[in-house]
Amino acid sequence: MALHQIIEKHKVSILGQEITYTNKFIKYNKSTSYGFKPQSSLISHASRLFKYEFEHAYLSPALYINPQGEKFIIPGFKKVHPETTLADIEIIRSVKKVEAPVEKNTWKFESSSEPGHFYTVRKSGLKYTCNCPGVWRSKDRRCKHIKQVENDNK
């Protein structure tokens, strides 16, 4: 089962004038191969396997169907083809920006939920501290920022 992106160029004659137009659409097919019957107005035809792109640092996409029967990728509510499955979605993990140490034993991380807001990790002796809320949520008081600094310093 696959989605195909189709691009067709047509040339038609309307009232003695030749008009060229392009159709772009997504078509569902039960296999990865795609066959078609050309129309007489068709100049060119292109087909490729199509995947929706979903970019997020840590969340995976899900599909949601509203009461009207429309399908969306969530989070983000991007409307998709009705036959879309999770296999038709390419997940792109964004890379977090990590600034070089400002001071010795100090690192800054940009917040994934609040771009432009930075959290600071400090090392004092063998202990790391961070000012993000994740420190209080974790059982061992080691947030993802502390774990990343520990892994980078191994």
Instruction: Give the model's pLDDT for residue 101.
Output: 55
φ and ψ at residue 86, rounded to 5 degrees: -60, -25
φ and ψ at residue 65, rounded to 5 degrees: -115, 120
71-98 pLDDT tens trace: 999 888 888 888 888 888 888 877 666 5
47-75 pLDDT tens trace: 677 788 888 877 889 999 999 999 999 88
Q: Is there a contact between 73 and 54 (Cβ–Cβ < 8 Å)?
A: yes
25-42 pLDDT tens trace: 666 666 556 565 666 666
Answering whether pTM is above 0.75, one says no
Percent of the chain with pLDDT over 90: 18
